[in-house]
Chain A
Amino acid sequence: MIKLENVSKRFITGSSITDALLNINLEILENEFISLVGPSGSGKSTLLNLLGGLDTPTEGKIFIRNKNISEYDDSELSHYRNHEIGFVFQEFYLEPSLSVRENILLPKYFNSSTHGSDEYADKLIREVDLEIKRNSLITEISGGQKQRTAIARALINKPKILLADEPTGNLDLKTGQKIIELLKEIHQTHKVTLIIATHDEHLAKLAKRTIKLIDGKISEEKHN
Chain B
Amino acid sequence: MLFKLTLKTIRDKKFRSILASLSITIGTASLIIFLGLANGIRTATFLEMEKSKPLTQITVRPDTSKSGMISFLAGTNKDALSDITIENISKIDGVKKIFPETQFNQFASIEAKILGFSLITDAMVFGLDKEFVLNDLKNPDSWNRTIEPYPAIIPRKLLDIYNLSIATPQGLPTLSEEGLLGKELIFYPNYSSFFPSMNKKTDEIKLEVVGFSDKVNLIGATLPSGVLNSLNEKYAPDSQKVFIELYVETETAEKTPIVAGEIEKLGLKTQYYQKDQEGVEAKFQYLTISLGAISMIILLTSAIAIISTFLATIAERTKEIGLYRALGATKTHIKKLILTEAGIIGLIGSITGIIIGILGSKIIDIYGIQQLASTTFKPETIFNIDYKLITFTLIFGTLLSILAAYIPAQKASKINPITALSK
Contacts and interface: CB of A to CB of B under 8 A. Distances in A.
Interface stretch (A32-40, A82-90, A119-127, A198-206): A82-90
A87 B1 contact: no
Contacts of B330: 74-75, 78-79, 110
Given A81-B328, A107-B328, A110-B327, A49 B418 contact: yes
Interface stretch (B142-150, B317-325, B402-410): B317-325
Interface residues of B, number: 22
A121 to B, nearest CB: 12
A97 B326 contact: no
A95 B327 contact: no
Q: How large, as a class, is the contact surface on chain A?
A: 20 to 34
Interface in B313-364: 319-320, 323-333
Given A78-B330, A93-B323, A109 B417 contact: no
B417 A54 contact: yes
A81 B421 contact: no
A81 B326 contact: yes
A107 B327 CA distance: 5
A95 B317 CA distance: 11
Given A74-B331, A78-B330, A97-B8, A110 B418 contact: no
Interface string B270-301: 00000000000000000000000000000000
Given A55-B418, A89-B421, A109 B2 contact: yes
Contacts of B328: 78-79, 81-83, 107, 110-111, 157
Contacts of B5: 109
A110 B326 CA distance: 11
B409 to A, nearest CB: 15
Contacts of A78: 325, 328-331, 333
Nearest to B6: A109
Contacts, number: 64
B288 to A, nearest CB: 45
Contacts of A55: 418
A106 B324 CA distance: 8
Interface in A35-91: 49, 52, 54-55, 74-75, 78-79, 81-83, 87, 89, 91
Interface string B4-23: 11001000100000000000
Nearest to B322: A93
B55 to A, nearest CB: 59
A188 interface: no
Nearest to A81: B328
Contacts of B320: 95
Interface of B: 1-2, 4-5, 8, 12, 319-320, 323-333, 417-418, 421
Interface of A: 49, 52, 54-55, 74-75, 78-79, 81-83, 87, 89, 91, 93, 95, 97-98, 102, 106-111, 114, 153, 157
5 contacts: A78-B325, A109-B1, A109-B5, A110-B329, A153-B327
